[in-house]
Amino acid sequence: MRWIDRQRNIVDFSLSSLLRRWKKNLALLCVYTFVVFIVASVVFFAEALKREAALVLEGAPDVVVQRLVAGRHDLISSAHMEKLSRITGVSDVKGRLWAYYFEPSVGANYTMVVSEESSARPGAVAIGAGVSRTLGAGEGDIISFRAHDGTYVGLEVARVFSASSELVAADLVEISAADFRSLFGVPESIYTDLTLRVRNPKETIVVADKIRRLLPDTRPILRAEMLRTYEALFDWRGGLVLAVFAGAALAFIIFAWDKATSLTLEERRELGILKAVGWETSEVILLKSWEGITISLTAFLLGLILAYVHVFFTSGTLFEPVLKGWAVLYPRFQPVPFIDPYQVATLFFLTVVPYTLATIIPSWGAATIDPDTIMRQ
């Protein structure tokens, strides 16, 4: 109890000391909270999308086989399908028909896809919520697409994918194979690329190797590689997240540098007076530790709360311009909160500890000097 009383007295004193310079400390708290908010927002957003990508892409094909001609992705024929189906361990080789379509009236890019069990009958399409939003089209409306020969093909909207599926389907136009081929002039037995299933997942790499040797003009892409694409995109030790971290780290270094070099004359005199009235060096360091902890812990907690609200209640509004780029069609999605305690702990150690240390070190230097010398400065 005595120990707690002693700590509380020191906290009382440190808060009074902070309040004496309340304008400076309030500004510091606001900037500090903002830095924690930005870093935590990026970490929450990235982790949520990474985990969701891993769950959602579990349904992706085991292997996609692309044909490359002159360094570019090219259409592939059904002759390749026959060769692939002869590889041991391969099952269910399918031709995939998909394409990009630019809609000049709204300036948006759509992804046209065909599925075997297509819900879209010839003459009808199923569209993503983003397509529906940009075109202002709903179920029963007719949408015109410009075909490869310059004619316009009108297709009825049979279904709009739910708004909650925008993360995968915002720009999709699901179309029948017959309409796809007539729209893009793709002949029968030609596909955009091929997909296949591998019976034993452990053999996927062996199968990919066989594909490369059997069909040298093709490139197999494994599901594991698709997943790694998103892991790399949202990995907080690299790419986009690291760029934000680097900015935040720089801000912290400036904080720490400022703290370490700018113990004001007033602050030094205060420490001298405390030493002169009988405070021990350890008590002065404790006082300064509490000042650092008060500021950094408050900034950490406020920053974390604001980041959570920003990412999971307002869908990361501040990141919208970054993700939007030049796109007219921007997917609106609400990230599912996947929070990794390891990341929260790392954020704590990256924000609270350095600042507290940066507060203590110069004070320790000042507290060990003779009080008389400090007060005469």
Partner 1 sequence: MRMRKSSLFIAFTTGSVVCLALLFAHGAAERRDQAPVINEKRSIVERLGLTDLCLFTDARYTRNPAMADRSTPFQDNPMSLDYFPSGSVLAPPPHLRSYALD
Query: Using CA atoms, how far apart are residues 44 and 40, in angstroms rounded to an integer?
Result: 6
Is 104 among the residues that bind partner 1 (CB under 8 A)? no
- Identify which of residues 260 and 302 has a Cβ nearer to partner 1 in the complex: 302
Q: How far is the CB of 367 from partner 1 (least distance, A)?
A: 22
Is 142 among the residues that bind partner 1 (CB under 8 A)? no
Query: Using CA atoms, how far apart are residues 196 and 222, in angstroms rounded to an integer?
Result: 10
Q: Which of 1, 152, 325, 376 binds partner 1 (CB under 8 A)?
A: 325
- Identify which of residues 16 and 200 has a Cβ nearer to partner 1 in the complex: 16
Structure tokens at 90: 């391969």
Is 175 among the residues that bind partner 1 (CB under 8 A)? no
Nearest to 150 by CA among 179, 110, 122, 184: 184
The SS3 assignment for 98 reads: strand
Phi, psi of 174 (to 5 degrees): -85, 125
Q: How far is the CB of 149 from partner 1 (least distance, A)?
A: 23
- Identify which of residues 94 and 146 has a Cβ nearer to partner 1 in the complex: 94
Say if strands 152-160 and 190-191 run parallel, antiparallel, or are unpaired: unpaired
Say if strands 172-175 and 108-113 run parallel, antiparallel, or are unpaired: parallel
Site residues for partner 1, 327-346, by CB under 8 A, read 327-331, 336-339
Tokens 């780029």 belong to which residue? 325
Q: How far is the CB of 330 from partner 1 (least distance, A)?
A: 7
Is 273 among the residues that bind partner 1 (CB under 8 A)? no
The partner residues of 96 in beta bridges, in order of sequence, read 193
Site residues for partner 1, 190-219, by CB under 8 A, read 193, 195, 208, 212, 219
Query: Using CA atoms, how far apart are residues 235 and 238, in angstroms rounded to an integer?
Result: 6
Site residues for partner 1, 225-254, by CB under 8 A, read 225-226, 228-230, 232-233, 238-240
Site residues for partner 1, 35-54, by CB under 8 A, read 49, 52-53
Site residues for partner 1, 145-164, by CB under 8 A, read 161-162, 164
Query: Using CA atoms, how far apart are residues 223 and 357, in angstroms rounded to an integer?
Result: 46
Q: Which of 31, 77, 101, 115 binds partner 1 (CB under 8 A)?
A: 115
- Identify which of residues 58 and 149 has a Cβ nearer to partner 1 in the complex: 58
Query: Using CA atoms, how far apart are residues 199 and 87, in angstroms rounded to an integer?
Result: 11
Kindly state the helix (H) or strand (E) to which residue 133 belongs, with its residue range.
helix 129-135
Contact between 287 and 9 under an 8 Å Cβ cutoff? The reply is no
Is 26 among the residues that bind partner 1 (CB under 8 A)? no
Q: Which of 106, 158, 256, 297 binds partner 1 (CB under 8 A)?
A: 297
Query: Using CA atoms, how far apart are residues 374 and 377, in angstroms rounded to an integer?
Result: 5
Is 106 among the residues that bind partner 1 (CB under 8 A)? no
Is 184 among the residues that bind partner 1 (CB under 8 A)? no
Is 138 among the residues that bind partner 1 (CB under 8 A)? no
Contact between 296 and 352 under an 8 Å Cβ cutoff? The reply is yes
Q: How far is the CB of 99 from partner 1 (least distance, A)?
A: 10
Site residues for partner 1, 65-94, by CB under 8 A, read 66, 68, 71-73, 94
